[in-house]
Chains A and B, each alone.
Chain A
Amino acid sequence: MSFVEYSEFIQEGDVAIIFLGHDSMMPVKVQQGSQTQTRYGVIRHSKDLIGQRFGTKVTCGKGGWVYVLHPTPELWTLNLPHRTQILYTTDIANITMMLELKPASVVCESGTGSGSLSHAILRTIAPTGHLHTVEFHQQRAEKAEEEFREHRVGHLVTVRNQDVCKEGFGVTGVADAVFLDIPSPWEAVQHAKNAMKRQGGRLCSFSPCIEQVQKTCAALADEGFEEISTLEVLLKVHDVRTITLPLPDFGPDRPLETPTDTPVPSNTSVLCKTTTPPREMAGHTGYLTFATKPRV
């Protein structure tokens, strides 16, 4: 397994996603002799996982069962250990498209955070692209680097432990796209411009507050960025349900002619397939500001 390449069978050292049921998952690192406890019982890695096909049903100790899934950046996003707030798939999808990422893209990112977006970028730019990611928190930077190695994408990424607002991305003139998720992105706009290719490229900044967006847009305009556009994306999940709508009883149709002893038809409700929105949903994650660096 690798986050950038599917494989058929589970091997030692792989990350596998244990699917426990509706919206309930957990990641495991597959190791010979290891055991994982779930609410359906124990999973013995040597017997239950190694050599099995991804996607198979694994019977656990208590007779319950789970599915074991091949990791993808999307599943990882839902299962990763949070070291920071993370970006979720809805935003990631739009960032990826609007930054025009594809195989061979060179991308700069800051901060690395928990690596949720990083994995999605790596998946998209593999096998010939590269990600330069900058994280000023030393422990987080180290942890991310370790994770990338474990996930077998280490060759596609360089993690730098520095302050992007002061020291930039550590590269100049190489990036097709830059992504900023930092508290003061306007302070990094100049560095972003320097990191980008002479032919130009795309930039995205993610900020939760509108004041941050305003400062960033002003900085982008000052630096000569074009096509500046701010947007917000949300995901609405529809739960599929079968509902029962009772029918009101208007009494007998023609009271005089109906014999009183005939039973009233029992058809007093209607079944109906529909969707309901969840009671609560994410109402705001952040504003996404995109811009194009023109050719110089």
Chain B
Amino acid sequence: MADNGDNDSQHRVNEGDYVVLKRGDIYKAVQIQKKKKTVFEKQWFFLDNAVGEFYGTTFEVVTGGTLQPRKPKHVESSADAKEAGTDNRNILDDGKSQKLTRDDIETLKEQGLKGQEIVQQLIENSTTFRDKTEFAQEKYIKKKKKKYENSVMVLKPSCRVLAMMYHSREPGKICHMRYDTLAQMLTLGNIHAGSKVLVFETCAGLVLGAVMERMGGYGSVVQMYPGGGSVRAGVESFGFPSHFHDTLHEFPICHVNALLAGALDTEAKDIDADAGQANGDKSNLTQTDPGKAESKEGSPDKEDQSMETSTSTDPAEDKEREEREKLREIRGQEKKVKMEAKRKKLAAAAAVLEGRNADGLVIASRFHPCPVLLGLIKFLAPSRPFVVYSQYKEPLIECYTKLREQGGAVSLRLTESWIRHYQVLPNRTHPMLLMSGSGGYLLSGTTVATDTPKTGSTRGEEPAAKRLKLTETTEG
């Protein structure tokens, strides 16, 4: 296409892009890779032909798994739906209304017939089709189309489609968080560009990605992660530009106590100053697996050997062994570089957290939310929102109670959102038959400054809070 190309280029699919495939209400996130077989909704194909096309294009899957852009939006031809019955009093379920057998249909498919043509064949060979009511005919066609039309849409990833995708495909991975609940979290947390947000999640990176999308690469996000490393599979799927990742920090939750006690920051500075010394201390702290620590200790004396590896041209038999050695060295080097980078990142994240002036806190994990909230809320500035997700209500009741006792937060609300989809069609409008039972629960609130601890803050807080409550009830 010749029209103002530069503006359009970003709307075209490139090799390596993360995209979302859509068919009906089913989504799947994939990366565009040449000559890579993709399986989606019981069909397989290659995404090679999607490269260069616009996002939002619908493709037809043709034989050999190639994709063909569906250009003209084929008219919603309900064939010759002129003839239709008024009711089903004469329609018998004898199982013989379809004249085509399963084998016939398979043959049609093998002949490479398009989905649309197969549906047409099915209609023509249905003896009862003409007796069905107009609405029943439409429903029949819709159902068959869904089954036989092998089309797939390629979408640009967004929080909306990924949240819906995870909820329907892998709810277990995101603690059964429904998309409307995620929407509430982003809004209640006042997530926006330029702020400093803490995220603790075990939702495959979906929540982190959603927060990053709303920040647009402005401000900073600190991912607090449990265990050995952060999980970001979901973040990948968003396909953020690389500069977004510059604003993303990570901090292991196992260092939170040290940081709060002021024990970590000297460490962090050491790390920055001279890496060699901090090496040992660090490995104790991070509790990395012994293998990692070992390779790290091995690497310092073999520094600057990466040069050699590039000039290796020994023909002898010990070439293999040498190569193996070199490989190990390279790996050691790589590991060292990685560890170095990790420590630098830790120091950077610690620096971001140290001011205890974060603008928002989002928690959504499979861990008990109570200790997480009480620990991380300390990093927030006063008058900032926080939001905690839990699949279950009871842990949030505990959070609510503890936070009330502790003080430092107002506007505490335990909420649940409820969503209902509708079928809107002429004369057939009604709520969908199926609805989601629960999308999880949220505890949200706003931080406030705690009393200056002169004579024990809790003692000062308690009667005051009670008095406030009392006045409310009398006024209400």
Contacts and interface: CB of A to CB of B under 8 A. Distances in A.
Interface of A: 4-6, 8, 19, 21-24, 39-40, 53-57, 64-65, 67-70, 72-74, 89-90, 92-94, 96-98, 100, 102-104, 120, 123-124, 126-128, 199-200, 210, 213-214, 217-218, 224, 228-240, 273-275, 287, 289, 292, 294-295
A64 B469 CA distance: 12
Nearest to B411: A19
Contacts of A100: 158-160
Contacts of B8: 199
B356 interface: no
A287 B422 contact: yes
Interface in B447-476: 447-449, 451, 464, 468-469, 471-472, 475
Contacts of A213: 422, 424, 429
B326 interface: no
B249 interface: no
B382 A235 contact: no
Interface string B385-428: 10000000100011011000000001101111111111010100
B419 A232 contact: yes
Contacts of A72: 190, 385
B195 interface: yes
A126 B187 contact: no
Contact of B382 (A54, A200, A229, A295): A54
A8 B449 CA distance: 12
A232 B182 CA distance: 16
Interface residues of B, number: 68
Contacts, number: 189
Given A54-B383, A231-B422, A94 B183 contact: yes
Interface string B186-209: 111010111100000000000000
Given A69-B446, A127-B193, A97 B415 contact: no
A217 B449 CA distance: 49
A12 to B, nearest CB: 18
Given A231-B420, A233-B418, A235-B417, A96 B186 contact: yes
Contacts of A289: 424
Nearest to B195: A6
A57 B451 contact: yes
22 contacts: A5-B194, A8-B381, A19-B446, A21-B468, A22-B469, A22-B472, A53-B382, A74-B188, A89-B184, A94-B419, A100-B160, A127-B218, A199-B54, A210-B429, A214-B426, A228-B424, A230-B422, A231-B421, A236-B415, A238-B441, A275-B393, A295-B56
B421 A230 contact: yes
B179 A97 contact: yes
B419 A53 contact: no
Contacts of A57: 448-449, 451
Contacts of B184: 89-90, 93, 235
B235 interface: no
Interface string B82-95: 00000000000000
B215 interface: yes
A94 B180 contact: yes
B183 A93 contact: yes
Contact of B413 (A19, A21, A123, A237): A237
Interface in B31-76: 54-56, 73
Nearest to A105: B216
A276 B357 CA distance: 35
A68 B417 CA distance: 28
Contact of A237 (B73, B397, B414): B414
Interface pairs A-B: 8 shortest CB-CB: A55-B382, A103-B216, A55-B383, A93-B187, A97-B183, A54-B383, A230-B422, A93-B183
